[in-house]
Chains A and B, each alone.
Chain A
Amino acid sequence: MNRYPAWLNSLVLVILLVGIMLALPNIYGSAPAVQLADIDGADITQTQLDNYVRALENDGIKPESAYLSDGRAVIRFAKGAIEDQQIAGERLRARYENESNVALTLAPSMPDWVRELGLNPMSLGLDLRGGVYVLLEVDMNTAVENRMKGYEQDFDDRLRDARIRHRVDLNNQVLTIRLQSAEDMEKAREIVSAADSDVLIGDGTDGKSLIVRMTEAQIKERQDFAIEQNMTTLRNRVDQLGVAEPLVQRQGVDRIVVQLPGVQDPTELQKILTATATLEFRMVDLTGDMPGSRRYPGRGDETPQILRREVIASGDEIIDAKSGFTNEGQPAVHITLDSAGGERMLATTRENVGKPMSTVFIEWREESVTRGGKTVSRKFKTEEIIGTATIRGVFKNRFQTTGLTPNEARELAVLMRAGALAAPVYKVDERTIGPSLGQDNIDRGFNAIKIGFLAVIVFMAVYYRWFGMIANVALLSNLVFIVAVLSLAGASLTLPGIAGIVLTVGMAVDANVLIFERIREELAAGVQPQAAINSGYEKALSSIADANVTTLIAAIVLLAFGTGPIKGFAITLMIGIVTSMFTAIIGTRAIVNLAFGGRKITSLPV
């Protein structure tokens, strides 16, 4: 009686070994490292990596390990070698600025053979490693409005081409097309629905106007597009910042979470994330009275100019932008246009050699204003001329523009390379955790785990003697399993997550307490030891299952409704419940069977 078949014992052993294996990377901790990502998003090659390492070694900096991970190069230094990391970061940045984005980070300091097995430690949440968390809300109204503006322009052009006299008004996402006479109605309707067969077209009350609006599906599609587009742009921008392991995630209908571990100054981040800066190139209107011409202010000492309505090239036609300096040493942005923009630039410059062209810097700035007791964020648009130059020769898609400070040039290059935001974003939640607080949180959390764990272990050993020791083995393996699952799932450990582990440690013994109490009851009722073990485990099973399922329900609800800190807690709690069922029921039984099963015993050390 009370023997597990050999396969079951082996299975328990194998699972334990796998658990230990998966949890292994976590015991090595982390060390300062430098991470390099290709500036255009391509994978870093082994050759490039070798170059980086050689460059550092020539400077007398010896990395402990250097490898490729997810197309990025990671160069890790000895534990605590922050100085090496800083110097290496500077050197690499100076040397490879046009090739890669360099980020200072923490990398797991496990030996190479562990890494080559594809094992990874759990990542630490922002509250444990420091960093910035930002929740952005996408302005959906503007997203839809922008689309309507596109329609307005389109319908206007098409009706003009068809020589139908009309006036188009856009108000509150509703487009009103006023026609000269009722006779034009049918023709106009045909033109509009030919342009877009999905939009809703209704008749105006006056009998000679059309009311056009987007369908629900179109609006939804537009909103999804805006979110997706914004996320791509934000991701690009974050990559340009040179942050290791950034996270950009959609939350709910109209929100985007951005997490940047290790970033300490949210000011720069804020600018990059919410800024919508771009450039436009226009010819100066020398006569000053061409239709649609408008006066633009100059930035700083720049002379204001009257510029023509036609845009030669605008920000969304810029496919690459790099900051740098002109031959004269002025800060400049080197710009590459796409083919359409390039063609127009070519045509314009060919016809206008000797005439002045202006570069307009356009920026939307977010400011909080109070209106009717409510604070709302408003975007203010500023348009300034940053440079006017005489066209000296014909050029196409590659040229440079000046008139910015080095910082502005760098930021503008980042913004244009990353693409434009499809709709403005506003920050609704921002949390910055300093690195010292993160370290404190780790230290305190692990301290609490250690002390709580020790208290429980001593108590169990005293109270249930050898059976208590067996339960302690299960408890310890349970910790290993929680860490293993978290590492495997790539989940990040947060402070509430640590709290979840602590709580699991306290509650995980419950299953063993139920079993051991039951065994004691059976023994007290005069049942033989072997039979008592058996029925103790069997009869306690339904209670354990019920108890754990109910706790699991609470944890699942937490996971479903919780955000941020609550989720971290719920995940570890859930993992803990499941793994503790395994260790407390099957794990302890395997040991109990090995120790006491299959032989004659007269008493049990329980």
Chain B
Amino acid sequence: MRILKNKTHIDFLGSTRRKIALTISAFAVIVSLGSLIVDDPPLEFGIDFTGGVLLEVGYPEPADIETIRSALATAGFEDAQVQRFGTDTDVLVRLPPQEGWNPDELREELRRTVAGDISNVQLRRVESVSPQVGKELAEQGGLAMIIALLLIFVYVMVRFQWKFAAGAVAALAHDVIVTVGFFSIFHLPFDLTVVAAVLAVIGYSLNDTVVAFDRIRENFFKLRGISAEESMNTSINEMLARTLITGFTTLFVLIALLLFGGESIAPFSIALIVGIVVGTYSSIYTASATALLLGVNAQDLLEPVKDPDLIDDLP
């Protein structure tokens, strides 16, 4: 079976298409950054980052959100966020950091309040994070992303050349910004697992980009006498089936994870799904177009090593 006919000849990098793609990318990045700047807070940070108290409560029968909310407000927790969590009987309560409470008394008070007069209410999960720990986690997450991008730039530079490395990192930055922007625009909960997902997106998208670069390098040597643009175009076409199939299989499992993996892992799945769609697009357009924009050509790769097979065997 094939999803594509034997050989595609889509002009991905033709100047008009490149301009359209560039416009779309620029638009997506600007909207994402705009949302991150204008929105306050920029993201629906989970208590991992802000500190606070989180309760997952299991009721024996469908719970009434309004009742719970007003019970909490009466008890003095006016700023509690109450929402359904997956099922009708599961409720998630979030509170900003509580001052002046003994942790145990706070837990007991909250349990009493959310239970009301319903018996056998289960506290399925209780998390309380101090704001200071949250701040550290946020800093670590940001640092991790910057270091990952830096290391990747170095790796691609060593394996290919700096113009490719710049293209790859541009594509990755694009993916990160758009994925995070998506969470900002749609007010999706942004917790530690989302940071992990975004880093996995970096890994995946880069995977895609590098595979394309690999073919581009091969074709630079094989197809002498045609322009860099044509050569890159051919490469992307040749890899198109692979790009799409791997994208599909990964999306299959992620959709399974989103649908069946439970509510607490949903933000993680969404981040990866968005990231993989964006990453697939960006490795076709953003990465190659940026390298092209920087004037990449066969000469860039020819100089250091005469026989490409020699380095091909290196991991």
Q: Report which A residues bind B (CB closer than 8 A).
A: 135, 266-267, 270, 366-370, 375, 427-434, 436-437, 440-441, 444-445, 447-448, 451-453, 455-456, 459-460, 462-463, 465, 495-496, 498-499, 502-503, 505-507, 509-510, 513-514, 517, 521, 524, 539, 541-543, 545-555, 557-558, 560-566, 569-570, 573
Q: How far is the CA of A67 from the CA of B153 in the complex (A)?
A: 53
Main secondary structure, interface of B, reads helix
- Asked if B210 contacts A543 (CB within 8 A), the reply is yes
B112 at interface, CB cutoff 8 A: no
For A510, what are the chain B residues with a Cβ–Cβ distance below 8 Å? 207, 242, 246, 249
**Minimum CB distance partner of B134 in chain A:** A429
For B253, what are the chain A residues with a Cβ–Cβ distance below 8 Å? 448, 452-453, 455-456, 502-503, 505-506
Additional 16 contacts, C-beta under 8 A, given A463-B3, A499-B193: A267-B108, A430-B103, A431-B125, A431-B126, A434-B58, A434-B123, A437-B124, A444-B260, A445-B261, A502-B256, A506-B250, A509-B245, A510-B246, A549-B315, A554-B203, A558-B199
Most buried by A among B107, B122, B211, B248: B211
- Known contacts A451-B260, A452-B257, A562-B144; is A459 also within 8 Å of B99 by CB? no
- Asked if A546 contacts B159 (CB within 8 A), the reply is yes
- Asked if A428 contacts B211 (CB within 8 A), the reply is no
For B262, what are the chain A residues with a Cβ–Cβ distance below 8 Å? 440-441, 444-445, 495
For A366, what are the chain B residues with a Cβ–Cβ distance below 8 Å? 102
- Asked if A565 contacts B196 (CB within 8 A), the reply is yes
**Minimum CB distance partner of B54 in chain A:** A431
Chain A nearest CB from B236 CB (Å) reads 13
For B126, what are the chain A residues with a Cβ–Cβ distance below 8 Å? 266, 430-432
Chain B nearest CB from A260 CB (Å) reads 14
Which of B22-30, B65-73, B179-187, B264-272 binds A? B264-272
Q: How far is the CA of A247 from the CA of B58 in the complex (A)?
A: 28
For A367, what are the chain B residues with a Cβ–Cβ distance below 8 Å? 102
Chain A nearest CB from B61 CB (Å) reads 16
User: Can you report 22 residue pairs joining A to B where beta carbons are below 8 Å apart?
Assistant: A368-B100, A430-B129, A434-B58, A448-B260, A452-B252, A452-B255, A455-B253, A499-B261, A502-B261, A503-B253, A509-B246, A510-B207, A510-B242, A539-B218, A543-B210, A543-B214, A547-B207, A551-B206, A555-B203, A561-B147, A562-B144, A565-B193
Of B1, B129, B203, the contact of A550 (CB 8 Å cutoff):
B203
| Pairs of residues from A and B, 5 with the lowest C-beta to C-beta distance, nearest first | A452-B253, A554-B203, A506-B250, A452-B256, A561-B144
Q: Please tell me the size bucket of the interface on B.
A: 35 or more
As a 0/1 sequence over residues 98 to 118 of chain B, the CB contacts with chain A under 8 angstroms (1 = contact) are: 011111100110000000000
- Known contacts A459-B252, A561-B143, A562-B196; is A370 also within 8 Å of B128 by CB? no
**Minimum CB distance partner of A442 in chain B:** B262
**Minimum CB distance partner of B245 in chain A:** A513
B313 at interface, CB cutoff 8 A: yes
- Asked if B144 contacts A558 (CB within 8 A), the reply is yes
Of B127, B248, B313, the contact of A430 (CB 8 Å cutoff):
B127
- Asked if A550 contacts B207 (CB within 8 A), the reply is yes
B238 at interface, CB cutoff 8 A: yes
- Asked if A503 contacts B127 (CB within 8 A), the reply is no
Most buried by B among A428, A465, A546, A560: A546
B37 at interface, CB cutoff 8 A: no
Q: How far is the CA of A264 from the CA of B79 in the complex (A)?
A: 27
- Asked if A375 contacts B100 (CB within 8 A), the reply is yes
- Asked if A553 contacts B148 (CB within 8 A), the reply is yes
- Asked if A542 contacts B214 (CB within 8 A), the reply is yes
B36 at interface, CB cutoff 8 A: no
For A447, what are the chain B residues with a Cβ–Cβ distance below 8 Å? 260-261
Q: How far is the CA of A558 from the CA of B268 in the complex (A)?
A: 15
**Minimum CB distance partner of B258 in chain A:** A448
- Known contacts A441-B264, A502-B256, A510-B207; is A463 also within 8 Å of B1 by CB? yes
- Asked if A554 contacts B261 (CB within 8 A), the reply is no
For B100, what are the chain A residues with a Cβ–Cβ distance below 8 Å? 368-370, 375
Q: How far is the CA of A447 from the CA of B148 in the complex (A)?
A: 32
Q: How far is the CA of A507 from the CA of B192 in the complex (A)?
A: 22
Chain A nearest CB from B70 CB (Å) reads 25
**Minimum CB distance partner of A544 in chain B:** B211
As a 0/1 sequence over residues 200 to 214 of chain B, the CB contacts with chain A under 8 angstroms (1 = contact) are: 101110111011011
B18 at interface, CB cutoff 8 A: no
For B42, what are the chain A residues with a Cβ–Cβ distance below 8 Å? none
For A451, what are the chain B residues with a Cβ–Cβ distance below 8 Å? 256, 259-260
- Asked if A430 contacts B200 (CB within 8 A), the reply is no
Chain B nearest CB from A431 CB (Å) reads 4
For B56, what are the chain A residues with a Cβ–Cβ distance below 8 Å? 437
- Asked if A448 contacts B261 (CB within 8 A), the reply is yes
Of B107, B202, B254, B314, the contact of A502 (CB 8 Å cutoff):
B254
For B104, what are the chain A residues with a Cβ–Cβ distance below 8 Å? 266-267, 270
- Asked if A551 contacts B203 (CB within 8 A), the reply is yes
B307 at interface, CB cutoff 8 A: no
- Asked if B252 contacts A456 (CB within 8 A), the reply is yes
Of B1, B107, B252, B312, the contact of A541 (CB 8 Å cutoff):
B312
**Minimum CB distance partner of B239 in chain A:** A517
Chain B nearest CB from A473 CB (Å) reads 16
- Asked if B242 contacts A554 (CB within 8 A), the reply is no
For B255, what are the chain A residues with a Cβ–Cβ distance below 8 Å? 452
**Minimum CB distance partner of B252 in chain A:** A455
For A452, what are the chain B residues with a Cβ–Cβ distance below 8 Å? 252-257
As a 0/1 sequence over residues 268 to 289 of chain B, the CB contacts with chain A under 8 angstroms (1 = contact) are: 1100100000000000000000
Of B101, B196, B261, the contact of A570 (CB 8 Å cutoff):
B196
B133 at interface, CB cutoff 8 A: yes
For B84, what are the chain A residues with a Cβ–Cβ distance below 8 Å? none
- Asked if A436 contacts B122 (CB within 8 A), the reply is yes
Most buried by B among A366, A549, A553: A553
B132 at interface, CB cutoff 8 A: yes
For B7, what are the chain A residues with a Cβ–Cβ distance below 8 Å? 524
For B261, what are the chain A residues with a Cβ–Cβ distance below 8 Å? 444-445, 447-448, 498-499, 502
- Known contacts A368-B101, A448-B261, A452-B257; is A569 also within 8 Å of B196 by CB? yes
Q: How far is the CA of A503 from the CA of B261 in the complex (A)?
A: 12
- Asked if B124 contacts A553 (CB within 8 A), the reply is no
- Asked if A546 contacts B257 (CB within 8 A), the reply is no
B97 at interface, CB cutoff 8 A: yes
- Asked if B123 contacts A432 (CB within 8 A), the reply is yes
For A448, what are the chain B residues with a Cβ–Cβ distance below 8 Å? 253, 256-257, 259-261
Chain A nearest CB from B305 CB (Å) reads 13
B293 at interface, CB cutoff 8 A: no
B195 at interface, CB cutoff 8 A: yes
Q: How far is the CA of A549 from the CA of B315 in the complex (A)?
A: 8
For A431, what are the chain B residues with a Cβ–Cβ distance below 8 Å? 125-128
Most buried by A among B159, B193, B202, B250: B250
- Asked if A561 contacts B140 (CB within 8 A), the reply is yes
For A546, what are the chain B residues with a Cβ–Cβ distance below 8 Å? 159, 210-211, 213-214
For A549, what are the chain B residues with a Cβ–Cβ distance below 8 Å? 155, 315
**Minimum CB distance partner of A509 in chain B:** B249
B219 at interface, CB cutoff 8 A: no
- Asked if B249 contacts A506 (CB within 8 A), the reply is yes
Q: How far is the CA of A465 from the CA of B144 in the complex (A)?
A: 41
Chain A nearest CB from B144 CB (Å) reads 4
- Asked if B125 contacts A437 (CB within 8 A), the reply is yes
B297 at interface, CB cutoff 8 A: no
For A503, what are the chain B residues with a Cβ–Cβ distance below 8 Å? 200, 250, 253-254, 272
- Known contacts A270-B103, A521-B238; is A507 also within 8 Å of B140 by CB? no
For B312, what are the chain A residues with a Cβ–Cβ distance below 8 Å? 541-542
B63 at interface, CB cutoff 8 A: no
Chain B nearest CB from A144 CB (Å) reads 20
For A524, what are the chain B residues with a Cβ–Cβ distance below 8 Å? 6-7
Chain A nearest CB from B310 CB (Å) reads 11
